[in-house]
Chains A and B, each alone.
Chain A
Amino acid sequence: MIEFLLTLAILAGINVLLASGFNLILGYGGLVSVAHPVFYALGAYVSALLSMHLGLPVPLAILCGAIFAAIASFGLSLPSLRVSGDYLVIASLGFQLGIVHIINNLEITGAASGLSNITSVIEGPYRSWIYAGVVILVAALAILAIRWLVSGPYGRAITAMRNDEEALAGIGRNAINIKVTLFALGSGLAGLAGGLYAHYFLFLTPDQFGIFASAALLTMVVVGGAATVRGPILGAILLTLLPEAIRFLNLPVAALGALQGVFFTGLVIFFLFTRPEGLFGGKTTGGLQAWRGSTAVRPRAKEAK
């Protein structure tokens, strides 16, 4: 039982890292991408493969995975300079499905049957205790860093970019730098989370990083409250723990996944219509309200009223 709870704590910590990084891009930056799980995948696979095939020490491999994910984010941040809103969403969807399809068909990644025999970083009876401590520490440091980033002058520049890119340019700030930086930071955190996941659970399959993962991440951010520091933390913890309750129903594996999916997506729809600001977002700040008036994601025309 203790082992199960520790595993849940590790998973929750990893999800907090993931959701907080996603929130940086989506919530604060207003850069609508669904491809975040791909950077999680890249961090996980690169870290696992470097440690397995090149014998790199696991912490260094995890760092390399995170850096690789951050660099790979140029694949999306550069298009974001050209297109935004729905167009960026669709481009990110193609990007995600394409990368997952590649992972799904490469021999070195274990293709559809998955990558196993990943190097473990810690052995012994206290493996889970130590790993949980490390993951929670990393997640806490990442949250503090994000909080520092978004509450300072740079954070105000990010908000200004989200709300009015032209006005930001008017005061001499460069929106391009901010977008690329946000993507790199958020994706780097996802890569870090991926590395941490790979060397604890020791098995990866491409299915983990598809549309379902996007839905789960969106749920964490939307339910918790986008563009708030605390929102994705709560969202990630809730969305890690609640579906576990479904496991106790002893359903077949296929039905379990589907039921969790119904739960995730149903919860998002419920929140979209009843509390779009999320659990932590205010009525006018945070949550989906944060994008109102933004030029990065323009609202529909007034005709809709």
Chain B
Amino acid sequence: MNFTPDLIAQLAWTGLASSSSYCLFALAFALVLKVNRIWNFGHAGIMVVAYFSMLVAFQYLGLPLVLGLAFGTVATIAVSVGLEKWGFNVLRNRNSSTLTYFIFTMTFSQFMIYLAELIFGTHPKTLFASIMSPVMLVGPIVISHWDLIAMATAAALVAGLWLFLRHTREGKALIAVSDEPELAEMYGISKQRAYMVAMALSAVLVTAGMYLMGTKTPMYPATPMNQYLILAVIATILGGIGNVFAAGIAAIVLALVQSFSVLVIPSTWQVLLLYVLIFVVIVVFPRGVVLKLPRRGPARAAGALASQPADHAQGGKP
């Protein structure tokens, strides 16, 4: 293959654009791990809910864009919050083991996937009849409208999350609970409310990510489990457990690596790269490799908190 600067630039742009959804998925996963202290493999199930509720809104109910997005977001938040309230909270009160959480979250995802397959079939679906996006040439780089929308959406949501965590009372409560739940409660902060808010926020991020994905590529019900969840997990570990925004950065790096890998790896083996990465990252870098930002005080440390020990979350020696 001829590694021309134009090709490199195009791959970099494509990777960056693709990273938009990945970044949102990673942020959602890392946020729940940080605040709720749960490796929520149920995220794949939540992605399925987000996607298929939007599919119902757009293709079956014929709702306009804004209403359809709102419908998907509300449905996803409801399922996420329900998962916390009737799932995690029950297990937490029982002081359940890591294994129980794992089985529950994984099984929840699979349940949602099978339910989607039962209702909507096993064929790939797109959110709209056409997923063609107009393109323009900027120098040697082909830029689609989808690229711009995806990057702008992701940037807005990342900025919104950062502002929320840093400047709102609710956001500061999330950070306090993630830091020291017992201490936070002594100061009148409700842990349970913080857990719910974290799940709701992650649902918003997941819905946006699934919308972007669904307007670019056809989706099988199992795709979130086989690809997006794994990518979010790798990014979260690479970013360092407890470092929400570093997970987002790691997701961007992963998308770029995946994009550039076409230069050396045939497309058939592209997905394998993810699986190898997750295995290697877990075994070799369980505490993450992304540089941590300096800690700047509890209230200002949204997403830049020093990485907590790996067993901060449920179980496991790193």
Chain A residues with a Cβ under 8 A of chain B: 26, 30, 32, 34, 79, 82-91, 93-95, 97-98, 101-102, 105, 211-212, 214-215, 218, 222, 254-255, 257-259, 261-262, 264-266, 268-269, 272-273, 276, 288, 291-292, 294, 297-305
- Residue ID in chain B nearest A82 by CB atoms: B283
- Residue ID in chain B nearest A27 by CB atoms: B99
Give the secondary structure class of B's interface: helix
Contact A89 B102 (CB under 8 A): yes
Which residues from A are CB-within-8-Å of B278?
A: 90-91, 93-94
CB proximity of A213 to chain B, nearest CB, Å: 11
* Stretch among B5-13, B89-97, B249-257, B296-304 lining the A interface: B89-97
Which residues from B are CB-within-8-Å of A288?
A: 96-97, 99-100, 103
- Determine if B2 is an interface residue (Cβ-Cβ < 8 Å): no
Contact A255 B118 (CB under 8 A): yes
Q: Which interface residue of B99, B110, B233, B276 has the most chain A CB atoms within 10 A?
A: B99
Q: How many residues of B contact A (CB 8 A)?
A: 58
Give the secondary structure class of A's interface: helix
Closest 8 CB pairs of A and B: A85-B316, A261-B114, A85-B315, A98-B275, A94-B278, A258-B117, A298-B315, A265-B111
Which residues from B are CB-within-8-Å of A85?
A: 98, 311, 314-317
- Residue ID in chain B nearest A91 by CB atoms: B282
Which residues from B are CB-within-8-Å of A90?
A: 39, 233, 237, 278, 282
- Determine if B313 is an interface residue (Cβ-Cβ < 8 Å): yes
- Residue ID in chain B nearest A253 by CB atoms: B122
- Determine if B163 is an interface residue (Cβ-Cβ < 8 Å): no
- Determine if B107 is an interface residue (Cβ-Cβ < 8 Å): yes
B95, B108, B315: the one contacting A84 at CB < 8 Å is: B315
Chain B residues with a Cβ under 8 A of chain A: 37, 39, 90, 92-104, 106-108, 110-111, 113-115, 117-118, 121-122, 181-182, 191, 222, 225-226, 230, 233, 237, 268-269, 271-272, 274-279, 282-283, 286, 310-311, 313-318
Given contacts A84-B317, A105-B268, A266-B111, contact A303 B39 (CB under 8 A): no
CB proximity of B272 to chain A, nearest CB, Å: 5
Contact A304 B92 (CB under 8 A): yes
Q: How far is the CA of A259 from the CA of B117 in the complex (A)?
A: 9
Contact B99 A297 (CB under 8 A): yes
Interchain residue pairs with CB less than 8 A apart (24): A32-B98, A83-B282, A86-B316, A87-B286, A89-B39, A90-B39, A90-B278, A94-B274, A94-B277, A95-B275, A97-B226, A101-B272, A214-B106, A215-B107, A254-B121, A258-B115, A258-B122, A261-B117, A262-B118, A276-B96, A294-B97, A303-B182, A304-B92, A305-B93
